[in-house]
Amino acid sequence: MVCVVNRASSKNGTDVAQRLVYVAKDNFILKRSSQTKAYAVWVGLRNRRIWILVRVVIAMDLVVREKKSNNRQFDDYGEAFGKNDVIGCYLDLQQMEVSFAKNGKPLGLAFRIPENQRNETFYPAVVLKNAEMQFNFGKTEFKYPPKGGFIAVSNAGAGHFQPNPLASPVTNAAASKPAPNAPQAIIIEPSRELAEQTYNQIEKFRVHLSNPNVRSLLLIGGVKLEQQKNALQQGVHIVVGTPGRLEEMISSGFVQLTHCRFFVLDEADALLKQGYTDLIDRLHKQIPKITSDGRRLQMVVCSATLHAFEVKKMADRLMHFPTWVDLKGEDAVPETVHHVVCMVDPQKDTTWHNLRQHIRTDGVHSRDNVSPQNQTPETFSEAIKLLKGEYCIAAIEQHKMDRAIIFCRTKLDCDNLENYFKSRGGQRYSCVCLHGDRRPQERKQNLEMFKREQVKFLICTDVAARGLDITGLPFMINVTLPDEKSNYVHRIGRVGRAERMGLAISLVSSVPEKVWYHGEWCASRGRNCQNTNLTDVRGCCIWYNEMNLLADIEDHLNVTIQQVDKSLAVPVNDFDGKVVYGQKNINTGTGYKDHVQQLVPVVRKLTDLELQSQSLFLKRLKV
- Is the pLDDT at 117 greater than 90, yes or no? no
Neighbours of 2 (CB within 10 A): 17
Task: Report the distance separating Cα 222 and Cα 200, nearest Å.
Answer: 17
Read off the pLDDT of residues 541-596 as tens digits, 9 standing for 90 and up: 999 999 999 999 999 889 999 999 999 998 876 445 566 787 766 554 444 556 66
How far does CA 477 lie from the centroid of its chain?
28
**Percent helix, percent strand, percent coil in the chain, to nearest 5:** 30, 25, 45
Please tell me the predicted confidence (pLDDT) of residue 621: 65
CA-nearest of 394, 399, 392 to 501 is 399
Overall pTM surpassing 0.75 (yes/no): no
- Is the pLDDT at 24 greater than 90, yes or no? no
Please tell me the predicted confidence (pLDDT) of residue 274: 87
Please tell me the predicted confidence (pLDDT) of residue 123: 75
Q: Do you find a cis peptide bond into 212, omega within 30 degrees of 0?
A: yes
Most confident of 52-56, 230-234, 504-508, 611-615: 504-508
Please tell me the predicted confidence (pLDDT) of residue 209: 86
Would you place residue 618 in the very low, low, confident or very high pLDDT band (cuts 50, 70, 90)?
A: confident
Would you place residue 93 in the very low, low, confident or very high pLDDT band (cuts 50, 70, 90)?
A: confident
For residues 44-73, average pLDDT: 50
Would you place residue 172 in the very low, low, confident or very high pLDDT band (cuts 50, 70, 90)?
A: very low
Read off the pLDDT of residues 583-603 as tens digits, 9 standing for 90 and up: 766 554 444 556 667 778 888
- Is the pLDDT at 23 greater than 80, yes or no? no
Q: What percent of the chain has pLDDT over 70?
A: 81
Please tell me the predicted confidence (pLDDT) of residue 599: 79
Read off the pLDDT of residues 383-436 as tens digits, 9 standing for 90 and up: 999 999 999 999 999 999 999 999 999 999 999 999 999 999 878 999 999 998
Q: In the 8-state DSSP scheme, what is residue 329?
A: -
Please tell me the predicted confidence (pLDDT) of residue 39: 29
Please tell me the predicted confidence (pLDDT) of residue 62: 36
Task: Report the distance separating Cα 468 and Cα 452, nearest Å.
Answer: 14
Please tell me the predicted confidence (pLDDT) of residue 318: 93
Task: Report the distance separating Cα 49 and Cα 448, nearest Å.
Answer: 58
- Is the pLDDT at 104 greater than 60, yes or no? yes
CA-nearest of 486, 480, 565, 485 to 514 is 480
Among 34-38, 450-454, 569-573, which is the least confidently predicted range? 34-38
Task: Report the distance separating Cα 111 and Cα 119, nearest Å.
Answer: 17
> What are the structural domains of the chain?
2-160 (2.60.120.920), 185-318 (3.40.50.300), 337-564 (3.40.50.300)
Residue by residue, DSSP assigns 25-43 as EEE------TT-----EEE
Read off the pLDDT of residues 252-311 as tens digits, 9 standing for 90 and up: 999 999 889 999 999 998 899 888 999 999 999 999 887 656 678 999 999 877 777 888
Task: Report the distance separating Cα 202 and Cα 182, nearest Å.
Answer: 18
Please tell me the predicted confidence (pLDDT) of residue 577: 53
Among 54-68, 181-195, 211-225, 605-619, which is the least confidently predicted range? 54-68
Sheet holding 121-126, edge to edge: 73-76, 63-70, 49-58, 41-47, 121-126, 4-6, 161-162
> What totals of helices (H) and strands (E) does the chain contain, helices first?
14, 27
589 versus 145: which is more confidently predicted? 145
The pair phi, psi for residue 333, each rounded to 5°, is -90, 125
The pair phi, psi for residue 149, each rounded to 5°, is 85, 0
Please tell me the predicted confidence (pLDDT) of residue 291: 65
Q: What percent of the chain has pLDDT over 90?
A: 41
- Is the pLDDT at 445 greater than 70, yes or no? yes
- Is the pLDDT at 5 greater than 50, yes or no? no
For residues 67-72, average pLDDT: 80
- Is the pLDDT at 41 greater than 60, yes or no? no
Would you place residue 166 in the very low, low, confident or very high pLDDT band (cuts 50, 70, 90)?
A: low
Read off the pLDDT of residues 475-501 as tens digits, 9 standing for 90 and up: 999 999 999 888 898 888 888 877 788
How far does CA 217 lie from the centroid of its chain?
19
Please tell me the predicted confidence (pLDDT) of residue 11: 33
Would you place residue 169 in the very low, low, confident or very high pLDDT band (cuts 50, 70, 90)?
A: very low
Q: In the 8-state DSSP scheme, what is residue 290?
A: B
- Is the pLDDT at 215 greater than 90, yes or no? yes
